[in-house]
């Protein structure tokens, strides 16, 4: 059983372990502590003031996933697979991905389209494909109730009916999510609508995904501090973006839309442009903002997304980096959780013949639900690895909700660990954090929100019409070690007439 006294347990997730390190990397490790700065360690001494200023490797862009239209549906195919990937020059890691050995292709579809996605499991362990942030029937959501055995294929189909945004997909197997996601099983799922084309939308040209992950380079004896146990999970010592180490992006336009996903297991990033150059937030987890919001920094906890516009002036040489922040824990816990690190994320330069694009003044967004729309209030208390004192039980329904209703969910972090909170099958509004208006980055549609120790967030959560009393959706902490430890619970949507259960597993196997 998982309990709240598990503070001293080691996170079991491996992250992608390097399986070969060549001589050059080994020498770097043996060489001197100054070499460590080059791969971005958690030690603050000797960290370069502006890491990223020298990044030179052209950033990889995950390919768009091809589709075919069959009987009016846009049909996609994904295959989960394992392999080896040289994520850092000289260091080959054991990795996992979709349609490749690391990460997954970008899925793109328009609001209103019907999609059908076939997911084949070529791994040697069960997996799932969860469409994070998607509003769809629970039976199509890809949780552990829709497990895909090795060599099996699972198919999800639904109609996309939510505003343009940047969602993502990743596995959700019970207790194995950290392992699979941190080895690379993550991809973006972009939704377009009429409003979103006002923004730069040419994928890979002026519409650029940034999937940020941290990995650990370890050689066992040569580097100090083999992976550390942080209260929020495993923190890697090296950042990769779209699987590229020390990436550079050469802009061919004067304004670039970046869709940023924190796909790390536990690490939070406090993003800024060196040195405090203004950028513009245009979208949060579930949709666009009414107008671009000028910001100088942005905290992204695991699973959160942000769409930002970055102006790239002539002769620009910009550095997107993560700088120290406060996760609300003790100083020591903040340090082991990576909150004091300064890390280069991406260097952005501009091509000599770049074309000019101007910042849009207004965007079209969908009105957020308000407190007066809600009929039910619920309270959730976050412990060290529990929600309302309980650990995940796949056969227990924790919350029964009436389809088509809107509820107020108040989430309080009563532990001394930082957490975040994600609800499947919905996009919500943040009404207040500690009784005050939320930060600009939490004023749009959200499906995941960071909650520091002692903090309380009040969420306005609209639920869909997809009543299914026997198939649950999840809500959980998205720090993946916490999730794997059981910091997760289940809700079902009912039409108000039917009782819940018995629970139905759409993989055809019963777990109980």
Q: Which stretch binds Cu ion (CB under 5 A): 117-125, 264-272, 320-328, 422-430?
A: 422-430
The size of the interface with Cu ion (CB under 5 A), counted in residues, is 6
> From the list ligand C2O, Cu ion, none, which binds 482 (C-beta under 5 to 8 Å, kind-based)?
Cu ion
Q: Which of 476, 486, 490, 491 binds ligand C2O (CB under 6 A)?
A: 476
Q: Which stretch binds ligand C2O (CB under 6 A): 200-208, 357-365, 471-479, 503-511?
A: 471-479
Q: Please say whether the beta carbons of 271 and 258 come within 8 A.
A: no
**Nearest distance in Å: CB 416, ligand C2O:** 24
For the stretch 393-415, what's the b/e string if a residue is b when 16 or more beta carbons lie within 10 angstroms of its beta carbon? ebeebbbebebebbbbbebbbeb
The SS3 call for residue 403 is: coil
Q: Provide the total of helices (H) and of strands (E) in the chain, helices listed first.
A: 5, 34
Q: Which of 268, 295, 335, 474 binds ligand C2O (CB under 6 A)?
A: 474
Tokens representing 214 are 């941290």
> From the list Cu ion, ligand C2O, none, which binds 102 (C-beta under 5 to 8 Å, kind-based)?
none
Nearest CA-CA partner of 442 in 427, 454, 453: 427
The SS3 call for residue 364 is: coil
Distance from C-alpha of 308 to C-alpha of 456, rounded to nearest angstrom: 27
275 preceded by cis ω (within 30°)? yes
Q: Which of 36, 303, 309, 479 binds ligand C2O (CB under 6 A)?
A: 303
Residue numbers 120-159 binding Cu ion by CB under 5 A: 132
* Binding of residue 145 to ligand C2O (CB under 6 A): no
The DSSP secondary-structure symbol of 125 reads: S
**Nearest distance in Å: CB 476, ligand C2O:** 6
* Binding of residue 479 to Cu ion (CB under 5 A): yes
* Binding of residue 130 to ligand C2O (CB under 6 A): yes
> From the list ligand C2O, Cu ion, none, which binds 138 (C-beta under 5 to 8 Å, kind-based)?
none
> From the list Cu ion, ligand C2O, none, which binds 357 (C-beta under 5 to 8 Å, kind-based)?
none
Evaluate the CA torsion angle 417, 394, 374, 446 in order and state its sign. Answer: positive
Q: Please say whether the beta carbons of 207 and 201 come within 8 A.
A: yes
Q: Please say whether the beta carbons of 290 and 334 come within 8 A.
A: no
The phi, psi pair for 319, rounded to 5°, reads: -125, 120
Nearer to ligand C2O, 327 or 488 (CB): 488
Residue numbers 443-462 binding Cu ion by CB under 5 A: none
Site residues, ligand C2O (CB under 6 A)? 130, 132, 170, 172, 303, 422, 424, 474, 476, 478
- Binding residues for Cu ion (CB under 5 A): 132, 419, 424, 477, 479, 482
């Amino acid at each position: 059983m998982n309990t709240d006294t598990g503070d001293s347990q080691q996170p079991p997730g491996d992250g992608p372990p390097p399986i070969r390190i060549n001589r050059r990397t080994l020498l770097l490790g043996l060489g001197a502590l100054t070499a460590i700065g080059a791969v971005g360690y958690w030690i603050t001494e000797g960290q370069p003031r502006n890491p990223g200023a020298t990044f030179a490797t052209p950033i990889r862009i995950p390919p768009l996933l091809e589709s075919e239209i069959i009987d009016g549906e846009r049909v996609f195919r994904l295959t989960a697979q394992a392999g080896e990937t040289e994520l850092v020059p000289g260091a080959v890691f054991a990795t996992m991905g979709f349609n490749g050995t690391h990460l997954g292709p970008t899925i793109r579809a328009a609001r209103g389209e019907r999609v059908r996605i076939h997911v084949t499991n070529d791994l040697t362990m069960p997996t799932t494909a969860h469409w994070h942030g998607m509003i769809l029937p629970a039976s199509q959501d890809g949780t552990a109730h829709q497990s895909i055995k090795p060599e099996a294929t699972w198919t999800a189909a639904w109609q996309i009916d939510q505003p343009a945004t940047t969602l993502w997909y990743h596995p959700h197997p019970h207790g194995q999510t950290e392992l699979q996601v941190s080895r690379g099983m993550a991809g973006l799922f972009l939704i377009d609508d009429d409003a979103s084309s006002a923004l730069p939308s040419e994928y890979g040209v002026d519409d650029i995904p940034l999937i940020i992950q941290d990995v650990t380079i370890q050689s066992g004896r040569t580097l100090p501090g083999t992976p550390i146990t942080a209260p929020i999970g495993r923190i890697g010592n090296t950042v990769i973006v779209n699987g590229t180490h020390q990436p550079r992006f050469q802009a061919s336009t004067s304004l670039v839309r970046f869709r940023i996903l924190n796909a790390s297991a536990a690490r939070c990033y406090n993003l800024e442009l060196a040195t405090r150059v203004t950028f513009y937030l245009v979208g949060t987890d579930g949709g666009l903002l009414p107008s671009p919001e000028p910001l100088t920094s942005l905290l992204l906890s695991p699973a959160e997304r942000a769409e930002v516009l970055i102006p790239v002036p002539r002769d620009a040489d910009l550095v997107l980096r993560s700088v120290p922040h406060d996760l609300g824990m003790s100083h020591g816990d903040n340090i082991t959780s990576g909150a004091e690190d300064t890390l280069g994320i991406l260097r952005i330069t501009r091509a000599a013949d770049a074309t000019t694009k101007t910042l849009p003044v207004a965007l079209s967004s969908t009105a957020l639900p308000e407190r007066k729309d809600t009929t039910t209030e619920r309270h959730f208390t976050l412990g060290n690895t529990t929600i309302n004192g309980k650990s995940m039980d796949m056969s227990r329904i924790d919350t029964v909700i009436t389809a088509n209703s809107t509820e107020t969910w108040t989430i309080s972090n009563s532990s001394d660990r930082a957490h975040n909170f994600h609800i499947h099958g919905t996009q919500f509004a943040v009404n207040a954090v500690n009784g005050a208006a939320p930060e600009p980055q939490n004023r749009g549609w959200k499906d995941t929100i960071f909650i520091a120790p002692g903090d309380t967030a009040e969420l306005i959560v609209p639920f869909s019409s997809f009543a299914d009393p026997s198939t649950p959706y999840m809500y959980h902490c998205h720090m993946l070690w916490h999730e794997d430890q059981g910091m997760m619970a289940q809700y079902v949507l009912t039409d108000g007439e039917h009782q819940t259960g018995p629970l139905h597993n759409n993989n055809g196997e019963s777990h109980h």
